[in-house]
Amino acid sequence: MLFRQLEYLVALSRERHFTRAAEACHVSQPALSEAIRKLEIELDLPLIVRGRRFEGLTPEGEQIVRWARRIVSDQQSLKHEAAALRTGVTGTVRLGVVPTASATVADLTGPLCGRHPLVTVNLAEDLPSADITARIDRFELDGGITYLDDDITTRYRTFPLYREFYDLLVSADSTTAGGDSITWREASSLPLCALPSMMRGRRILDEFFASDGVTHAPQVETDSIASLYAHVKTGQWAAVVPRVWRRVFGEPPGLRCIPLAGGFDAPVVGLITGRGAQGSALVRALEDTARGLDQSSSVPPIDQ
């Protein structure tokens, strides 16, 4: 069995297409197909459902590809470990980030790259939490920044970063009361735009509104932060946004933020990594950096 055969099988499972898998592995499509055929012969198992095009993995193939992903990931970790022994931690950290954390991810990647100048970062942003965990499980991501819900903490290594408090974002000329704060019930009466309901961040907001005995039905849903701000600036809508965004965006011209009061305890956002990934020098560097950034026990100032 050759290592490249396992790489080809993993790529085919990910791409679901022979030509795209071959391109990802920088080989010809016939070479990839032949290597997988030889792997099937060696294992004496059918791995691919064959037809005129790729139709999926067989049940046996699904089990074998899980082993293959782990072996490929371990081989990459071995390379990172050897490189770290030679020249220090090096390699590319692959991070998935939920939309609400995209404005804060630099708080982690900045110190990481500062400590380890040979490390590069590849961000997959605006991902639902479920996509992040699935890609970590498939060894396609080294870690993710998401909400540390109970089911997350039991399945992954977790490193709290901060608690997510909320503001109501409105246009500067909005007639919405501009006092020290606004309640979730008051905010629910406004025309709102929000993240899609499939996003964990949106479902958390639904829970906060429900805690004040109300529901909200956004007229506009978007997974783009820029689009969210642009819609609010028209004066037609308002939006509930994480308070930490103020550190990056401030109050852009034409917009203002009103703190939201009440609701549940602020959810914790943090780094997660696979429980079997701590042997990697690259992942260890990521985790060590996150440990020194935990602000989850503090409350940010209102004017943050």
Look at residue 106 in the predicted model and tell me its pLDDT: 94
Neighbours of 87 (CB within 10 A): 9
Rounded to whole angstroms, the Cα distance separating 249 from 267 reads 21
Please give the model's pTM, rounded to 2 decimal places.
Answer: 0.75
Sign of CA dihedral 142, 144, 150, 153: positive
pLDDT score for 279: 64
Measured distance CA(208)–CA(205) in Å, rounded: 5
CA distances in angstroms from 245 to 181, 248, 249, 278, listed in the order given: 17, 5, 6, 31
Structure-block tokens of residue 226: 């820029």
What's the pLDDT at 107?
Answer: 94
Q: How many helices (H) and strands (E) does the chain have?
A: 12, 11
Element (H, E) at 43: helix 29-43
CA proximity to 118, closest of 142, 86, 141, 78: 86
Helix, strand and coil in the chain, % to nearest 5? 45, 20, 35
Could you tell me if 111 and 286 are in contact, meaning their C-beta atoms sit under 8 angstroms apart?
A: no
Per-residue pLDDT at 198: 85
Q: Give the pLDDT score at 299.
A: 63
- Where do we find the tokens 């080809």? 8
**Amino acid found at 240:** V
pLDDT at 86: 64
pLDDT of residue 278: 55
**Cβ-proximal residues to 244 (8 Å cutoff; 6+ apart), any chain:** 103, 104, 162, 164, 165, 300, 304
Encoded tokens for 129: 């939490």
Domains, in order of start, for the chain: 3-73 (1.10.10.10), 88-157+278-294 (3.40.190.10), 166-261 (3.40.190.290)
Q: What residues in the chain have per-residue pLDDT under 70?
A: 1, 84-87, 177-179, 263, 276-279, 299-304
Total residue count of the chain as it appears in this document:
304
3-state SS, residue 92: strand
Place of tokens 């479920």: 130
State residue 180's pLDDT score: 78
- For residue range 11-61, list pLDDT tens digits in order: 988 888 888 999 999 999 889 888 998 998 889 888 988 777 788 889 998
Q: Say what the pLDDT of residue 179 is.
A: 66
